[in-house]
Structure 1
């Protein structure tokens, strides 16, 4: 199991809402605990003969914000009267249910808490994202087919 597999497992556990997951394989033990806003991972690997066991704590890596995310943050600051619809998971953002279908929502469309506004694909699973707020779409902050992070703003909604 390499670091990418462990990171994917951490993301999956955080997304699932589980509070604790333990995984034991023949040469590795992993415990992932999630709390209020903290995710803790403990990895214990079998040490080679004659060496003591070592525990390694691997917190979820925070990705440095890109220039686009910084611009999006500035837009959100300037227009604080708007509500952000954010990505609940890490994955690829899609505005359409299929390439030959129309987009879920356009700028100017009214949405309610159950309106599907986009899809985020993570690990070959397509997750429909609901607005969870009522109002009018003011701006789409992410290009179709681009990767998104957990908590990244996707849309701005005017609640009035």
Structure 2
């Protein structure tokens, strides 16, 4: 199970409203817990020994099967869009400073080389420039949120 599948599973569990899901496969054991007060997600990826019995509850297995179908639908809807991803780990900011306007908004047309956001990493503020031209369809990250390497930030309609 790769990182993208785990991220999709976390998103699915968060949207479903389930408080805890456990999934055991041949070589991986994953537990996802979400709290009602705040969205706390804990993922543990532990190698499972071959001698241990494989007891998987029916609900997580059903969730895993539904999870496989859900990304296909999302992929079809978003396949016409280009995803701009984070090139580094850091904190995502939508504007250069608190008193300045946002770099981009949904519906705004952008050109190649336009600054889309800033990602702060180790007190260095890195301007993230667009590599494509088009229209911003969706901003996938909240302002002042931590982002991972290769995490989707924006969806752009190139047409």
Query: TM-score normalized by structure 2?
Result: 0.55
Tell me, yes or no, if structure 1 residue 110 matches structure 2 residue 109: yes
**Residue 7 of structure 2 corresponds to which residue in structure 1?**
65
Structure 1 154/68 Cα, relative in aligned 2: closer, same or farther at 3 Å? Answer: farther
**Residue 159 of structure 1 corresponds to which residue in structure 2?**
158
Which structure 1 residue ranges, 5 or more long, are not aligned? 1-61
CA distance in structure 2 between the aligned counterparts of 1:93 and 1:102, rounded to whole angstroms = 15
Superposition CA RMSD, Å: 2.6
**Residue 119 of structure 1 corresponds to which residue in structure 2?**
118
CA distance in structure 2 between the aligned counterparts of 1:131 and 1:76, rounded to whole angstroms = 22
**Residue 92 of structure 2 corresponds to which residue in structure 1?**
93
SS at structure 2 position matched to 1:118: strand
CA distance in structure 1 between the aligned counterparts of 2:107 and 2:152, rounded to whole angstroms = 17
Query: TM-score normalized by structure 1?
Result: 0.55
Which structure 2 residue ranges, 5 or more long, are not aligned? 16-69
Contact 1:84-1:154 within 8 A present in 2 as well: yes
Contact 1:76-1:82 within 8 A present in 2 as well: no
Q: Which has the higher helix share?
A: 2
Q: Which has the higher strand share?
A: 1
SS at structure 1 position matched to 2:120: strand
> Deviation at 1:69?
9.5
CA distance in structure 2 between the aligned counterparts of 1:69 and 1:144, rounded to whole angstroms = 22
CA distance in structure 2 between the aligned counterparts of 1:129 and 1:158, rounded to whole angstroms = 18
